[in-house]
Amino acid sequence: MDHQRHGADVSSNQQVLLAGSGDPYAGNVILLLRGEGANGGTTFTDSGPLNLTLTASGGSFTTSTTQAKFGTSSIKGVGGTGYLRYTNTAATELTGDFTIEGWSYWTGVVVGNQETISFEITSGGALQSLLSGTPANRLLRYWDGTAYAILGTGITNDAWFHWALTRSGTTITLWQSGASKGTVTSSATIGVSGLLTYIGSYGNGSETLNGYVDNIRITKGVARYTSAFTPPGDF
């Protein structure tokens, strides 16, 4: 397990949180999932200022001490048909700049896609998401609801990597381990009030994560990354 607590130095134009330094955008954070909990635990705590309530179903997600990028545990997904989700409000809608980021560890035992996070576009309907390809084609991809708008590059199984999706103005960028994997232009709202956001599944249990996620953070009103960066340390 990697219990790293401090990040490497970052370029001066990146306002990135390093452990212990304080986050200048802490008040803009709408979700902060550190994945801390007992091994096999089913309580998922939002450490952000909104203290969102996350609902789990189907037994597909637990906190696990088997792997942790930071701290002592992470959120483990074991596939199946369960979900981990919250309901959006006006406070969580992403209408302008934003940053959605976290760390993932995809295992080599995978059937189907590896979902990271998805947002309903219509109630019970289409979603937009970050996910990987098939086990034979492990790519981080941004699905905008109708097509794979941005494709990343190959992901190594059984290793932690940082991912981020940002919007600055109308430019959405997919970041993989601090490098841009492409952009697309959109001003559409993400996380529409009254609709659902899913962690580790595409809707109600489709394409559910086999692996681990840690330190998921969503920041409203701020594109934290606008050029290549060193992934942040613990936050």
CATH number at residue 64: 2.60.120.200
Which position has the token pair 């952009």? 183
Label residue 135 by pLDDT band (50, 70, 90). low
Q: Average pLDDT for residues 134-138, to the nearest whole number? A: 71
Number of domains in the chain: 1
List, for residues 43-101, the tens digit of each pLDDT value: 999 999 999 999 999 888 999 999 999 999 999 998 777 899 999 999 999 999 999 99
From 141, 143, 138, select the one nearest 155 (Cα to Cα): 138
Q: Is residue 9 assigned to a domain?
A: no
Q: Is residue 19 assigned to a domain?
A: no
pLDDT at 140 over 60: yes
Q: Is residue 33 assigned to a domain?
A: yes
Mean pLDDT of the chain: 88
List, for residues 156-193, the tens digit of each pLDDT value: 889 999 999 999 999 999 999 999 999 999 999 999 99
Label residue 110 by pLDDT band (50, 70, 90). low
Contact between 13 and 204 under an 8 Å Cβ cutoff? The reply is no
Q: Average pLDDT for residues 96-118, to the nearest whole number? A: 86
Q: Is residue 201 assigned to a domain?
A: yes
Q: Is residue 5 assigned to a domain?
A: no
List, for residues 198-216, the tens digit of each pLDDT value: 999 988 877 888 899 999 9
pLDDT at 9 over 70: no
Q: Is residue 229 assigned to a domain?
A: no
Q: Is residue 234 assigned to a domain?
A: no
**HEC profile of the chain:** CCCCCCCCCCCCCCCCCCCCCCCCCHHHEEEEECCCCCCCECCCCECCCCCCCCEEECCCEEEECCCCCCCCCEEEEECCCCEEEEECCCCCCECCCEEEEEEEEECCCCCCCCEEEEEECCCCCCEEEEECCCCCCCEEEEECCCCEEEEEEECCCCCEEEEEEEEECCEEEEEECCEEEEEEECCCCECCCCCEEEECCECCCECCCEEEEEEEEEEECCCCCCCCCCCCCCC
CA 25/CA 130 separation, integer angstroms = 23
Rounded to 5 degrees, φ, ψ at 91 are -70, -25
pLDDT at 137 over 80: no
104 compared with 3, residue with greater pLDDT: 104
Label residue 2 by pLDDT band (50, 70, 90). very low
pLDDT at 6 over 60: no
- In this structure, is the dihedral angle defined by the CA atoms of residues 61, 195, 232 and 109, taken in order, positive or negative? positive
Distance of CA 139 to the CA centre of its chain: 15
Q: Residue 82 has what pLDDT?
A: 85
Q: Residue 107 has what pLDDT?
A: 84
Q: Is residue 128 assigned to a domain?
A: yes
**Domain housing 163:** 26-220
